[in-house]
């Protein structure tokens, strides 16, 4: 019985440890899609964004998705997992936090001098 309890507790800890890093990331991706893809008439942009998925913000060469591209760094200035966790259980407040962070990131300038918002409005992925 003790072995069963020990194995069950260890299993729960391992599962919790494995899934917790994604808790802050999945809602960011979901709200990004809602903000920039829902109602967007540019089929090419939608297709490119869906193909890029997490790589809108993360470097494709980094399989662990810990390394962000320049756009991801801009978003990271305004959206953090630690701040997001303050909104646990508060759906509308968490959406507002994410949307406001994305809007602030839109104003940041890319290496080519245009803002990320201008790139998105032009139908380009922000990291292009």
Q: Which residues pair with 115 in a beta bridge?
A: 109
Residue with tokens 């803002």, as numbered in its chain:
115
Q: Where are the domains of the chain?
A: 23-121
How much of the chain, in percent, has pLDDT values that exceed 90?
A: 63
DSSP 46-111: HHHHHHHGGGGTB-TT-TTS-SB-HHHHHHHHH--HHHHGGGTT-HHHHHHHHHHHHHHHHTSBPT
The 10s digit of each residue's pLDDT in 35-79 is: 999 999 999 999 999 999 988 999 888 777 788 999 999 999 999
pLDDT for res 4 = 47
| pTM tops 0.85 | no
39 φ/ψ sector (left φ>0, alpha ψ -120 to 50, else beta): left
């Amino acid at each position: 019985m003790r072995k069963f309890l020990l194995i069950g507790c260890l299993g729960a800890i391992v599962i919790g440890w494995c899934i917790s890093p994604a808790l802050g990331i999945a809602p960011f991706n979901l709200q990004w899609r809602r903000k920039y893809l829902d109602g967007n008439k540019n089929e090419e942009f939608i297709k490119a964004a869906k193909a890029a998925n997490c790589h809108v913000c993360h470097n494709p060469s980094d399989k662990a998705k810990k390394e962000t591209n320049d756009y991801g760094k801009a978003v990271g200035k305004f959206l953090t997992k630690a701040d997001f966790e303050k909104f646990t259980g508060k759906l509308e407040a968490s959406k507002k936090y994410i949307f406001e962070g994305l809007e602030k990131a839109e104003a940041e300038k890319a290496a080519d001098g245009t803002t990320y918002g201008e790139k998105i409005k032009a139908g380009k992925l922000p990291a292009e």
